[in-house]
Amino acid sequence: MQTVTLETVETATGLGTEEISNAKAWDTAHVMMTYSRQPAQFVRGAGARLYDADGREYLDLLSGIAVCSVGHCHPYLTKALQEQAGTLLHVSNIYLTEPQARLARRLVELSDFERVFFCNSGAEANEAALKIARKFGRTTGGELKTGIITADNSFHGRTIATITATGQPKYSRDFAPLPAGFSYVPFNDIDALRAAVNRDTAAILLEPVQGEGGIRPATLGYLRAARELADQHGALLIFDEVQTGVGRTGTLWAYQRYGIVPDIMTLAKGLGGGIPIGACLARGAAAETLKPGDHGSTFAGNPLAATAANAVLDILADEHLTDNARRVGAHLITRLAELQGKYPQILGGVRGLGLMLGIEVRNGAARKIVAAALEAGLVLNATGDDTLRLLPPLTLTTAEADEAMARLEKAILEISPEGRKG
């Protein structure tokens, strides 16, 4: 493992040893305790690698939960941000700015949508979609046409409306009363969806691949049925592509892998490569629903954030990263299946598309493996106790994938020295 000395870290970050150790105490004392922190403090990143305060090197198969889509500190993205930071950061959406207009044009040209609403996060992108759905329903079908159908086990964000849309009660239980008009169906169950949709449905909101819910791809039949049911009942079909979008599944947007075009698509995570930006894209009547005064956001799509997203789109195209996601994703699936064959008491099946992969872990040991992997120089995470989640940068090479799998095997042997079969 390549090591970096503390001097290198200090030079690169301007942090001294004292600040590095103080940060943990400051965090514990003064940051609201909404996260259970992993025991590592990263100070620098390059490509698929992260470096911690002690100068240890890690392979990053999480990329900030699908955010650092082009890897850490990609030189092209860094340069674009440096130039924009010295030119214009922000002026307000009262004025148009070229980077935002350019980004909207490119997103529309690269997709099946006609207009974009910019925001700063995934939850906000879904809020925009829900507001469009409600206004669209009320305008086309009267004041009862406001129902939003989402799937069990889904995840759509942390605002009051998006925890309500999220089909996992643990996220919303303590925050009642919740907005009315949401209902839930089992994912990938066509009959249940058919039974739930009616003339009062404003929208069906689905993730093409459930992310937080454990990397569960929708079946083609399910998304096709959702499209047909939405059309039959005059409802909108919304795909939450906050995690699946921007090349993650091996096509630019996951809906393209299925060939099912929704009316609205929401984006965030990988779009800015690490700079916060979200987007809600719509076509047809959904694209024309919001009028001046209906919605807005102070920071959204400012010149810096839009420049980041424009740079990410450049890199995706120049480096053929959607192809890379498919190729390296397939390679990882093969390697994970080999590990599963070697350690069947520990690992179960592999699920996913492109570089959005989940591995089942037996006996609820997912978090134990995550901790052991961190020790072995590998960053990944767990959704629940039973699934390891891999969301590497789309720039990951097969050599880096192999190196990561060697570290994963080390972690497996660490938690279960007798893990090897026979």
Ligand X SMILES: *Cc1c(COP(=O)(O)O)cnc(C)c1O
Cα first-last separation, the chain: 30
127 touches ligand X by CB under 6 A: no
The pair of structure tokens assigned to 363 is 């006996």
211 touches ligand X by CB under 6 A: yes
**Looking at 100, 146, 150, 243, which residue binds ligand X (CB under 6 A)?**
243
**Looking at 111, 121, 289, 387, which residue binds ligand X (CB under 6 A)?**
121
Nearest to 246 by CA among 238, 255, 237: 255
Q: Could you confirm whether 131 is annotated as catalytic?
A: no
355 touches ligand X by CB under 6 A: no
In the complex with ligand X, which residue's Cβ is closer, 43 or 205? 205
- In this structure, is the dihedral angle defined by the CA atoms of residues 160, 211, 416 and 48, taken in order, positive or negative? negative
**Which ranges constitute the DSSP H helices of 31-175?**
63-66, 75-85, 98-109, 122-141, 160-165
User: Min. distance of Cβ 72 from ligand X in angstroms?
Assistant: 19
In the complex with ligand X, which residue's Cβ is closer, 162 or 335? 162
Asked if 257 and 222 count as a contact pair (C-beta separation under 8 A), the reply is no
50 touches ligand X by CB under 6 A: no
Q: Could you confirm whether 145 is annotated as catalytic?
A: no
Catalytic residue among 135, 145, 269, 368: 269
240 touches ligand X by CB under 6 A: yes
Q: Could you confirm whether 239 is annotated as catalytic?
A: no
Residues 277 and 417: their CA atoms lie apart, in Å, by 44
Nearest to 338 by CA among 253, 417, 402: 402
**Looking at 45, 64, 99, 122, which residue binds ligand X (CB under 6 A)?**
122
With contacts defined by CB under 6 A, name the span among 116-124, 145-153, 283-291, 335-343 that binds ligand X: 116-124
In the complex with ligand X, which residue's Cβ is closer, 99 or 245? 245
**Looking at 268, 286, 332, 378, which residue binds ligand X (CB under 6 A)?**
268
Q: How distant, in Å, are the alpha carbons of 70, 89, 121, 245, 306 from that of 99? A: 19, 11, 18, 20, 5
Catalytic residue among 52, 60, 240, 386: 240
Residue burial 284-296, b: 16+ Cβ < 10 Å; e: rest? eebbebbeeeebe
Residue by residue, DSSP assigns 241-260 as: -TTTTTTTTSSSSHHHHHT-
List the interface residues with ligand X, window 156-175 (CB under 6 A). Answer: 156-157
In the complex with ligand X, which residue's Cβ is closer, 268 or 316? 268
In the complex with ligand X, which residue's Cβ is closer, 295 or 368? 295
The residues annotated with a catalytic role in the active site are 155, 240, 269
Contacts with ligand X by CB under 6 A lie at: 121-123, 126, 155-157, 207, 211-212, 240, 242-243, 268-269
